Structure formats: structure tokens, C-alpha cells
Amino acid sequence: DRIEVASLDGSKRRVLINSGLVNPRAIITDCFNGNLYWADWNREAPKIETSYMDGS
């Protein structure tokens, strides 16, 4: 699985997160601070993770 971003028309698509994901859900953007949050519903190790909106 991976987390991607794109323009509303589907252009400028790119992968932000492509490793360490099992079952990502509930993606939230914090545009004010430039953060991205998501829950990974991995049965063995569920977690909430964060990154900057550029994927770093």
C-alpha cells in the first residue's frame, strides 16, 4: 500500500509514502502546519503515523 497525492484533475500525481504501510486508513491533512496523519490498521502492530505533506 502507499499514500499518494494529486491535483483534482488527476495531474501532478506522486507517491508520498510507499514503505512501512500495511492497511492505511483515516488520512488527515493539517494544511496550517503542513502535516499529514494516518492510521495504519495493521493487526499485529496498529499505529498512528505522521509526516510532512511532502512525504518527508
- Report the 10 Å Cβ neighbour count for 55: 14
b/e per residue 11-23 (b: at least 16 CB within 10 A) = eeeeebbeeeeee
Q: How confident is the model over 35-50, as a mean pLDDT?
A: 93
Its pTM stands at: 0.78
Task: Give the pLDDT band (50/70/90) at residue 10.
Answer: very high
pLDDT of 55 reads 85
Alpha-carbon distance 31 to 54, whole Å? 11
